[in-house]
Structure 1
Amino acid sequence: MESAVRSHPAVADAAAFPVASELAEDEVMVAVLPRPGSVLDPHDLVRHCERELPAFAVPRFIETVPELPLTETGKVRKTVLRERGVTADTWDRTAGVSPVVRPGPG
């Protein structure tokens, strides 16, 4: 799933992780680091994911981040992302409301 998200031209890096759902099972969330100078449109990223992934894997939640939390060995610390969960800056594709999306550094 992460490789499909990373294949979007505005994405430099991404981490996918589950977050609790108010409806049933966990939902898919991705934290996305935009490419320098790019502005990420979450609608466009979802359309891209719909072409690349099965429906159950298309993220419900997307949050752009200035950096991903990394371990000393360079792996993404997904526990940090899961613990933070959905925030006020998180875009929810089922809500139809898009927050301001920050451009990548650079």
Structure 2
Amino acid sequence: MKPTSREILQSISNECHHQLTYYTFNTTTLQVTAKYREGRLAGLRYLSELTWYYLQEEKRIIQQFDAQIIKQLEQYASLEENDYKEGLFSTLKEIHERVQEIQKKS
């Protein structure tokens, strides 16, 4: 199964943090110039911030998705009470609750 975008971003973030620690604290054992180390650390910090940004974007997508479900519930609240409305609301509420549960876990 293909990894999700979240899993890929978390993997990149973990690798960046690992290398940040490695290049920050191994000043005597690494055979690299100070300028190389400085450039490497700058790149790793940038990538770390970039992965954090996109992980936050992913959270916002879920929030926007849930907001759309709520909007649909409000929009169709004035429908006449019948089986169609009951089925529609049942489905939307079920998914809304599932999204809420998932957000609480993460």
Structure 1 length as normaliser, TM-score?
0.21
Structure 2 length as normaliser, TM-score?
0.21
Higher helix residue share: 2
Bigger CA radius of gyration: 2
